[in-house]
Amino acid sequence: MSRAFFAEELETAASWWRIYRGDGVTLGFTTHDRDLYFGGILHRAAPGMLPSAIRQSMRLEDDEAEVEGALAHDTIRAQDIAAGQFDGARMESGVVDWDTLEHACLYTGSIDALTQDSGTFGARLRSAKADLDVDPVPRTSPGCRARFCGPGCNLSASPFTTRAVLIEVDTMRNCARFDVGNPELYRQGELRFIDGPQAGITFAIIAVDEAGFELDRPLYGEWQAGLRAVLRQGCDRTIATCTSRFANAINFQGEPHLPGSDLLAQYPQPR
């Protein structure tokens, strides 16, 4: 960037920010009164969104920031917030010359919390420095700490993934029923809709009963039979399941035979 911003008394500058959601959708906004296209992204005019002042320091503490606005923009909807589509999304913010489109990124982080109240939303951001507070050392646990079919587990997801057709949705119980052979295999698994109002969103299957799969995020919109989804089987993270069902005990990321903390409360008993 060769442009020195705020060096003159009169500037053609506006704020901008980008949201990179986990489902691959990228949203761009600007406080200017018209849309701006730069960096390969269209930044929609959103004068009702107000980013707070960003204070950056040389210390290792997190540089927090906030964004507030009205739930009036067609790309940020109340149901999307409730469905968790913005949870953990990566975010960039900076300044742009709306005349020449020269721009600079001043802040990089992620959305730590997103709230909504009376038609408005508020986003609390955490900077990239906050990752330095994460303890990377794993703790002992009787269950497997690896994500099923992820790093450490090392199983391929293909044999445990299938496409299924939706039979019905019970929004009152937040359940979806599919045409699958053995639903119990998908307990603690994942579901991603290909069609429908929540296409592209990944749900965790937290329970299985006669109503179908109970999901961790709310279902909304109009549903109809025949919609498609991708289902991936689940794992209860026990050594017994890892051995008998998946034959993957060599990659089990846990300590199933390590005594628990209740051992500290034991004392000799007279016989």
3-state helix, strand, coil in the chain (%, to 5): 10, 35, 55
The DSSP bridge partners found for residue 122 are 68, 115
Tell me the C-alpha distance between 59 and 63, whole Å.
Answer: 9
What's residue 73's pLDDT?
58
Name the token pair of 214. 């109970």
Amino acid at 99: D
CATH code for the structural domain at 158-251: 2.40.10
Q: How confident is the model at residue 183 (pLDDT cuts 50, 70, 90)?
A: very high
Q: What is the pLDDT of residue 4?
A: 77
Euclidean distance between CA atoms 110 and 119, whole angstroms: 23
Mean predicted confidence (pLDDT) in 67-82: 63
- Could you tell me where the beta strands, DSSP code E, fall in the chain? 13-20, 26-30, 36-38, 41-45, 50-51, 65-70, 90-97, 103-117, 120-127, 161-170, 175-178, 190-193, 202-209, 212-215, 228-232
Q: Say if domain 13-131 classifies as CATH 2.30.110.
A: yes
Query: pLDDT tens digit string along 136-165?
Result: 777 888 999 999 999 999 999 999 999 999
Residue 43: closest CA among 103, 110, 116, 111:
103
Average pLDDT over residues 64-69: 54
Output the pLDDT for position 270. Answer: 67
Per the prediction, the chain carries an average pLDDT of 83
More confident residue, 268 or 93: 93
Domain residue ranges of the chain, discontinuous segments joined by +: 13-131, 158-251
Task: Please determine, for residue 271, whether its predicted confidence score (pLDDT) is greater than 80.
Answer: no
Binned at pLDDT 50, 70 and 90, residue 115 comes out as: confident
Residue 72 binned pLDDT confidence (cut-offs 50, 70, 90)? very low
Q: Which of 107, 95, 104, 92 is nearest to 13 (CA)?
A: 95
Which percentage of the chain shows pLDDT scores above 90? Answer: 38
Ranges 113-127, 144-158, 213-227, most confident: 144-158
End-to-end C-alpha distance for the chain, whole angstroms = 80
Distance CA 253, CA 242 (A): 10
Spatial neighbors of 191 by CB under 8 A, at least 6 apart, are: 176, 202, 203, 204, 205, 213, 215, 229, 230, 231, 232
Query: Can you give the pTM of this predicted structure?
Result: 0.67
